A and B are shown apart, each in its own frame.
Chain A
């Protein structure tokens, strides 16, 4: 039995029931009983019990992959596209600097690509104490295999304690592969990172079950501790042009850069004015838009605000907007500063994709629409009247 209640200690106080996210504990005859078919062995009940009556057997302790003390420093995998560093990487450098103060260690940027000299100063100004730079024609664009090979070699050589990476289509693909290759833990799509003051390990906090629960996860016995981190959650540092950093150039044998898959072309879709995951403002339309032609009014508002255009599943499934614009469980998860939901009823599948936005504006005719429950500002009105008036007013105020 991997988890047990010590009957002699249990008083039936039910604190463990409150802690259990899986509804797996019952009180029978004033003693807690765990239903093992429901229990996920998450261990949430263990610290909840003040009487230490819940025991989670760790079984055989996971074999550490390494001598933990050899691993030092925080690394940020720098994502570049067409030779330009992506904003999520600067956000992570900012966070890494904050964590590094608590660990008294250095922050290193890991940059793979080709002809990247123009990017180095900015990385140092925004938090990199060192830059591990690997340049080769074959690394110009991201590809899973060569990037995995290079990153694995660098980790084995320099042994970072923590490795952070954006939870992007590159990061989530690459780092999942790297984590398996070097036999360490990885936590996906984190929205919070901290250092445990006593154990000095990385506390990784992330939403699960579509944001209905939040979990804090650690990687106690393996190094590096690795996490992908959501866009727009962490703050970049203000650039400091006086900062100094060291550049460490690495070269590897040609076989390290080999790839079985071939990248034939990169296609940018022109209809995407602003990339959804990078946007500070998103104007999004749902079934209430009543047809594809009406998205024009959202595009106009988006243009004035410098916003991206999103869509609900209903609008995408009706063929009004391409799938790349879909926000929600089967589309993208976004967290902009302002999310303007127009004619979106707010099914839970949509909400999980946008409810961590800072400000949510909902415009809907139906006062009972669930979107109003999460809205910072709710407008019960006809969107076809409100949106054009809103566009005009913003134009006047912003002088655009």
Chain B
């Protein structure tokens, strides 16, 4: 079973601080990491490969330093890493990003499954995963919290095929999709795209052997020159949305601190809250 995992390098949000003088995010010295949700996608891919064999490929779009995120994924057990990096892709919104990633996936070719984290911790849009499946015109299941069952034929199948023909139509997966009230059980043919939530697994720590292998691995880098994408559909030109203003939210006004005897605190608090409770 061949799996493609789409990841994003994000700043470690815990360290994002605002410079009080310039009112901007301080990015200097802020470490980068793999988007937390993507870690679950990586782990799930490694687990599926351990069960069913096949090839796992991790892809990311970003500046040259995003290579570190690919190596980190490879240290966890992913076979191959592809970095999509070019100034031509800068300023991409979710439409242009999902177009670029889906084009790269088409170039990679044979795949059975695409895994993404449910959203990235910087942009928080949750739009790129479904956007990729829409561009590729394949089924999607978002917020997957468990893979329940996989057609056993998959383990003996040859590597996947993006076209649904021949025996490929027999491939399916049954998954649980998280909702506000609980979950849905969904069966989908492959190839398909899933976005995953935290509950699906617990990501492993990279092994020493994995880290060594990842350090030495050759990362494939594709720029616009290799991809030859429609310039109308990438970067700023390909982005229907435009950011026109960015500002920092006003800080929450300081609160009241209560200390003292329990009955006194409780009475005061209930007085303050009771009109908000219906």
Closest residue of chain A to B65 (Cβ to Cβ) is: A37
- From B24, B139, B246, residue with most partner A Cβ within 10 Å: B246
- From A19, A144, A219, residue with most partner B Cβ within 10 Å: A144
> What residues of chain A lie closer than 8 Å to B236, measured between beta carbons?
2, 41, 58-59
CB of A291 within 8 Å of the partner chain: no
A225 to B255, CA, bound (A): 39
**Interface of A, helix, strand, loop or mixed by DSSP:** mixed
Select A213's contact among B25, B241, B266, beta carbons within 8 Å.
B25
**Interface size of A in residues (CB-CB distance below 8 Å):** 119
CB of B237 within 8 Å of the partner chain: yes
Q: Are A359 and B90 in contact (CB under 8 A)?
A: no
> What residues of chain B lie closer than 8 Å to A13, measured between beta carbons?
none
A61 to B126, CA, bound (A): 26
Binds A, one of B74-82, B91-99, B154-162, B210-218: B91-99
Q: Are A275 and B181 in contact (CB under 8 A)?
A: yes
> What residues of chain B lie closer than 8 Å to A38, measured between beta carbons?
27
Q: Are B248 and A213 in contact (CB under 8 A)?
A: yes
Closest residue of chain B to A42 (Cβ to Cβ) is: B243
Select B269's contact among A189, A213, A275, A377, beta carbons within 8 Å.
A377
Q: Are A22 and B27 in contact (CB under 8 A)?
A: yes
Q: Given that A62-B237, A189-B125 are known contacts, is A379 also in contact with B269, CB under 8 Å in the complex?
A: yes
Q: Are B22 and A18 in contact (CB under 8 A)?
A: yes
Q: Are A222 and B13 in contact (CB under 8 A)?
A: no
Q: Are A62 and B252 in contact (CB under 8 A)?
A: no
Q: Are B182 and A380 in contact (CB under 8 A)?
A: no
> What residues of chain A lie closer than 8 Å to B135, measured between beta carbons?
180
What is the distance, in angstroms, from A218's C-beta to the closest C-beta of chain B?
5
Select A324's contact among B27, B182, B185, B276, beta carbons within 8 Å.
B182
CB of A255 within 8 Å of the partner chain: no
* B positions within 8 Å CB-CB of A: 11, 13-14, 16, 18-19, 22-28, 36-37, 63, 87, 90-91, 93-95, 98-99, 121-131, 133-135, 139-143, 145, 174, 176-189, 192, 197-199, 231-232, 235-249, 252, 255-259, 262-263, 265-267, 269-270, 272-274, 276-278
Apart from A42-B91, A268-B181, A389-B263, list 13 A-B contacts with CB within 8 A.
A21-B25, A23-B27, A39-B90, A173-B130, A173-B143, A179-B95, A213-B247, A218-B242, A218-B244, A262-B188, A264-B184, A264-B185, A355-B252
* A positions within 8 Å CB-CB of B: 2, 17-23, 36-44, 47, 58-63, 65, 81, 144-145, 148, 168-170, 172-173, 176-181, 183-189, 203, 207-222, 260-269, 272, 275-278, 280-281, 305-306, 323-324, 326, 329-331, 337-338, 347-349, 352, 355, 358-361, 367, 372-381, 385-386, 389-390, 393-394, 397-398
